[in-house]
A and B are shown apart, each in its own frame.
Chain A
Amino acid sequence: MFRTIFSHVGEYKKQAILTPVAIIGEVVMEVTIPLVMAKIIDNGIKQNNIGYVAGMGALMVAMALLSLFFGAIAGRLGAVAGMGFAKNIRGALFRKVQDFSFSNVDKFSTASLTTRLTTDVTNLQNAFMMLIRGAFRSPIMLVSATIMAVCVNPKLSIVFLFAIPVLGISIFFIATKAFPRFEKMLSQYDTMNGMVQENLTGIRVVKAFAREDYETKRFSETSDGVRRAQVFAEKLIILNMPIMQLVMYGSICAILWFGGNMAVDGDILTGQLSSFIMYVGQILISLMMLSMLFIMFVISRASMQRVYEILSEEPAIADPEGASVMPEDGSISFRNVSFSYFGDMKNLALENISLDIKSGETIGIIGGTGSSKSTLVQLIPRLYDTSEGTVLVGGHDVREYQLETLRDQVAMVLQKNVLFSGTIKDNLKWGNGDASDEEIIEACRSACAHDFIMGFPDGYDTYLGQGGVNVSGGQKQRLCIARALLKKPRIIILDDSTSAVDTATDSSIRKAFREKLADTTTIIIAQRISSVMDADRIIVMDGGEINGIGTHEELMRSNEIYREVYDSQQKGADE
């Protein structure tokens, strides 16, 4: 996991490596400065040697400047590497998601994908920057400060022999103990946020049932849960500070005590004593930093895991090796096709479907909720792969096509369709980036969208918010149809795409299809019989199987389900 993630440092490797190098420089300066300080006190001030003080002072200034130089370099490099790493990871994730097939997206859910690409990447970025700057700094500081202390006075440095393990063990103990508690706290947070989200989307339901008080009570329970989890987790962490102070102060007292005794005997100089105290600070603070890094690392591990899951996900559908074939016409064949969303043969959404659709034919599909109408058509542009059997488009197995070729030929208007922020024209151009204005208007006329578009003050340049918020459901569907038409495909599939369009408009759209797209194979999934009854053939789906195929008249005679549906919609019309 770490290797995969950190391989995305990529072109910022140089900076990522140089950061610790610069930090080493900074640390070396930092640990030698107290030595110079001791000299200033012992050889300078106490000996009344101003020249020495000035000389050493100048040396110290030079060292400080050098340390500053290294520090600044490290800061800059760290920022470049950290941000560059985040950029690469983000880019890699985004590209990966673009490669995902529908089944990959279904697996993660769009909400989770979004969180992983935003929050988790930011977490990772912060952790990484802390890591390259801190993970080297603290241990180097720890080691070199200890060495310096030993050099100054080996006997006195025995104090560290006690202090470091005591602090190290207690910090480790706290950190490992705290981790599961933090995980619990985070999941409590998730629960709470989930509740808020739910109340936001369902506010009308809450209000309609007058459940405001009930929800508030439920929330305050969750909120209290968060509070308790916080206290439970953090009461351990706040132990860190006093313990470290205790150890540090304890060491200082011990050093003062032993050091004082030694100083009286002349075994140590007072300046050395004070530099010793500075080393205590440096050593223990770097230990402290290490523990914080550890916690940070552990916490970011969850994010890392979630990011890794995406990076390591295999796209379920990939382009075939070698040259692509081109479709010969707009025909479609299903040969013994079975399909399951979960990849097991027990939970079949489609069972043993065989079907031939001629090029240029108009096919209607009717069936109840959950009868797998959408599933059937999604196999045609290879949005999913079959579990068994083959789907042929234009005379070739869909798996022989480059995905781009196939999907250029098969336009599909999805049931849950989306418009993007941008002008209406921008959105339409998704179908064909080079489309001329005439072509665009032509497509919109066919989709009965031209008139309402011209009704907007800005016409085709009307700006749509994210998700196409400023057009109605029916208008949105018509725009989506126009967008698909612009592809000039051989096959067009409308998956319940006119459900929000009134019947009259619906019929004029179909009329336009008949007249202008006579050569295009058209598949229409609909709830309304009226939307499909004039199709060349109508397929009745039931429970993942084809229950009947035929014209309206044939099905009215022979198919019970079809007749039922027809009756349910038509009842009363002839009264």
Chain B
Amino acid sequence: MPPKKNMMPMQKPEQVFGTFKRIFSYMYGFKLHLVIVVIGIVISSAAGIAGNYMLKPLIDNIEESLKTGKWDKSGFVGIIAVIAGIYILGCISAYLYQRIMLKVSTEALMRIRNDLFSKMEMLPIRYFDKHTHGELMSLYTNDTDVIREMLSNSVAHFISSAITIVGVFTAMLIYSWQLTIIVVVMFILIIRVIGFIGSRSGKGFIAQQKAIGDVNGYIEEMIDGQKVVKVFNHEDEAVAEFDKLNEHLCEVSTRAHTFANILMPIMNNLSYLHYAATAIAGGIMVVKGIGNLTVGTVVSYLQFTRQFSQPITQISQQMNAVLTALAGAERIFRVIDEEPEADEGYVTLVSADIAPDGTITEAAERTGKWAWRHPHKADSTVTYTEVRGKVEFDDVVFGYEPEKTVLNGISLYAHPGQKIAFVGSTGAGKTTITNLVNRFYDVPDGKIRYDGININKIRKKDLRRSQSIVLQDTHLFTGTVMDNIRYGKLDATDEEVFAAARLANADHFIRHLENGYNTMLTADGGNLSQGQRQLLSIARAAIADPPVLILDEATSSIDTRTEALIEKGMDSLMEGRTVFVIAHRLSTVRNSHAIMVLEQGRIIERGSHRELIDLRGKYFQLYTGMFELS
């Protein structure tokens, strides 16, 4: 049994067949398997019908012997043998198709998941700005679950129910077309009932879905803010609001489930009505000799009436599941169809040998030197440029949304090895500038140049490999401390990891952890303090050894004293690299080569600390604000 789905909403997929086809396209390589599965389903459902069908000759055989006193025993044995044979065949094929389908469906699901994930990794940052984590998470949980349910259950049930209905109906027709009239009437009745109840319970489930969303959303918010609730004595208000939502959910879901629960007994008993009607009509026909009906026929026929309504209920239930699954699949495919992060870059990063005369040749193994490999289409030559970390901005205008610009004409120039700092209030555009340097967001051609190369020509991956970034919100991954530092350079030796940790001044506290470098970190590094996590992310950046370093409020969660302790490490980390520093604390940026003061997307002051202090402008105000409390 799969992890239970929370609810069964009726959701309408937009494109039933297209989506269906697409799900099945994930079963490539399993054509033969699928054929066997379909054959298996057909045989196993046919076996059920055929078994009943054989009841008639059997009972006729018995009735015949009762009438005549002469028993055709070999005929009797033969019939039973046939029934047994059919059943065994049915069982075997039922097992076979389920086993094969299990393999096929889990494999297909894995492919869908992998597709989804690899696509997710390629989406531009912009996409993640617009969509909540919960939204994307539910693709991996709810939406894949329902597809799984559909593949492993619904499809098979659907086919077998359809076959059963058609088969039973045909058999009924063969036995007696007159009695089949009752069947048709019943059929219409059943469809009506299902339609009536189904639409009500469907509406109920949609309402329930929404109510559950409200309740869960409220729970999430209140639990997340639990400590604030406590500090403000807000428990009673929280409970009162919760009770309201909870009561509503209870009402709505009771309604939805009532309809769903009642459907089964109704269907079940409708089939008894059908049975009674058939028995009466059949009895009359046998007595009156209409249509040459035998007792055996009536008995088999009665068996059939029981077999007839069940698959209809089945289909109506599966229909729901299938539609939900298709709607889920569409959500998944929508993400897979998203435009990936555009990357027309063709300039790549290569290891290089640099001769004393400055000629650069590509090296097969890591040399510690890097070069940009720049192929020129026009004359099909390749030139190499040493990676040095020179960054130029030329009148860059940028906005996350087209109508709202965040940067209004930024021009700047960072020489290799320079430390450039950005200061300014929240929303001034500091982080945006760094987001452009590593192409989290793209600007028009030629506006930003890196080592003299138009940044849009550089392959994103290589561009980012040449830079390291330390963010304010440190993010560590589940794994050991060692793994997390190594994230910056996957093939780093243990020695290199230790060295990077020492550089970031993290070695000391790591060695004091329970298992040292092999200490497992939980999802968000919860067992470390904010400052310790920051040190790890600095070590992670250090090990990558890139020419360009971006520190976005990297030290703001570390107290100034600890910061002073790691200052040496930071200094040696920054040495020889182009560094962009964003910091709140002005003490952090003092020793920069150039400080840019940003306001509303413009650089309003620029220069060294000394120069800016002498300027007595905004920077001076900010800086002295620390000491002059007016």
Contact = CB atoms under 8 A, between A and B. Distances in A.
B257 interface: yes
Contacts of A518: none
A126 interface: yes
A95 B1 CA distance: 32
B478 interface: yes
25 contacts: A75-B265, A83-B250, A87-B249, A94-B238, A98-B235, A118-B215, A196-B136, A208-B438, A211-B487, A216-B118, A242-B91, A242-B98, A249-B91, A257-B80, A260-B61, A274-B302, A295-B1, A296-B1, A368-B559, A369-B530, A420-B221, A421-B221, A483-B232, A528-B626, A530-B629
B247 interface: yes
Contact of A75 (B63, B221, B233, B262): B262
Interface in B111-159: 113-114, 117-118, 120-122, 125, 128, 133, 136-137, 140-141, 152
Contacts of B562: 368-369
Interface string B262-291: 101110110011011101101110110000
Contacts of A90: 215, 246
Contact of A53 (B110, B283, B476): B283
Interface in A52-73: 53-54, 56-58, 60-61, 63-65, 67-68, 70-72
A407 B232 contact: yes
A271 interface: yes
A220 B114 contact: yes
Nearest to B550: A208
Nearest to A248: B87
Interface string A228-255: 0011001101110110011001101100
A82 B257 contact: yes
Contacts of B256: 79
A565 B562 CA distance: 9
A308 interface: no
A407 B231 contact: yes
A176 interface: no
A534 interface: yes
Given A256-B80, A412-B231, A274 B226 contact: no
A482 interface: no
Given A99-B235, A572-B587, A502 B625 contact: yes
A278 B55 CA distance: 13
B585 interface: yes
B137 A430 contact: no
B622 A503 contact: yes
Nearest to B110: A227
B474 to A, nearest CB: 9
Nearest to A182: B1
Contacts of A235: 99, 102
A217 to B, nearest CB: 9
A148 interface: no
Interface in A343-396: 367-370, 381, 383
Interface string A165-193: 00000000000000000100010010011
Contacts, number: 472
Instruction: Tell me which of B215, B283, B425 has the highest count of chain A C-beta atoms within 10 A of its own C-beta.
Output: B283
Interface stretch (B322-330, B384-392, B444-452, B462-470): B462-470
Given A72-B266, A76-B261, A105 B560 contact: no
Contact of B121 (A80, A212, A274, A527): A212
Sorted from nearest, which 5 A-B pairs have the closest CB atoms? A71-B265, A75-B261, A249-B87, A369-B531, A64-B272
Given A40-B283, A215-B117, 14 more contacts: A75-B260, A110-B223, A114-B220, A186-B3, A192-B140, A196-B120, A197-B137, A207-B125, A207-B440, A264-B66, A274-B299, A367-B559, A383-B231, A502-B622
A430 B232 contact: yes
Chain B interface secondary structure, helix, strand, loop or mixed?
helix
Given A122-B6, A253-B80, A530 B627 contact: yes
Interface string B595-609: 000000000000001
A472 interface: yes
A335 B238 CA distance: 35
A204 B471 contact: yes
A117 interface: yes
Contact of A41 (B287, B298, B544): B298
Interface in A532-575: 533-534, 561, 564-565, 567-573, 575
Interface size class of B (residues with CB under 8 A): 35 or more
B224 A110 contact: yes
A37 B239 CA distance: 56
A98 B256 CA distance: 30
Interface stretch (A42-50, A139-147, A441-449): A42-50
A292 B126 CA distance: 46
Contact of A466 (B221, B269, B295, B622): B221
B12 interface: no
Given A472-B426, A507-B630, A573-B623, A263 B62 contact: yes
Given A95-B239, A568-B564, A203 B102 contact: no
Contacts of A195: 478
B384 to A, nearest CB: 21
Interface in B224-256: 224-235, 237-239, 242-243, 246-247, 249-250, 253-256
Nearest to B466: A210
A258 B465 CA distance: 79
A528 B585 contact: yes
A79 B269 contact: no
Contacts of A565: 559-561, 564
B239 A46 contact: no
B623 A45 contact: no
Contacts of A368: 559, 561-562
B284 A264 contact: no
